[in-house]
Amino acid sequence: SYAAGMMEYDSMNEVQGEIANAAMSGDTSAFTGEAGQLLAEEFQTILDSFSVNMGIAQTSYDEIQVLDGAEDYKEYADLMSQAATLRLSQVDLVQTLVEDFMAMAAESEASGQPLDLNVLLESEELAQLTEIDEEASDLEKQAEDLKQEKNL
């Protein structure tokens, strides 16, 4: 489930990249009206699937903690559970950023003014996402190193 969640995470990043490229071109048509609604729905579907998969993974890792013995597996599971918790905490931040971006695109289209992507790039949410991503990636690396070291 964690791997499936990370595939969804990669899909989220891919869609975000496409959004950023289109936004930099100044064309807001992909983010407004019917196209914007479809994009928001696609993104929400990805987020929902990501949340489900990470939640399942986190529960599975947490269940390992109650096993007798298997200390190496418990340590690995603890690291991965922490990473899953961090990844899940990103969902609300991503949703806020997407909602803010869609509102900015609609405002830009209505006013005829270009999108000011710096507002999003300098946002508290993006800074938090970056920090959480780094922390989760570090935990994932620690878990992978432990897995290799202990032949789990």
pLDDT in tens, 93-122: 988 988 888 888 888 888 888 888 888 888
DSSP tally for the chain: helices H, then strands E = 5, 0
Q: How does the average pLDDT of the chain come out, rounded?
A: 88
Count of alpha carbons within 13 angstroms of residue 102, beta-carbon side: 19
DSSP 8-state class, residue 41: H
How does pLDDT run across 4-19, given as a tens digit for each residue? Answer: 888 888 888 888 787 7
E strands in 9-117:
none
51's tokens: 């949340």
Nearest-angstrom CA–CA distance, 147 and 152 = 5
8 Å CB contact between 73 and 67: yes
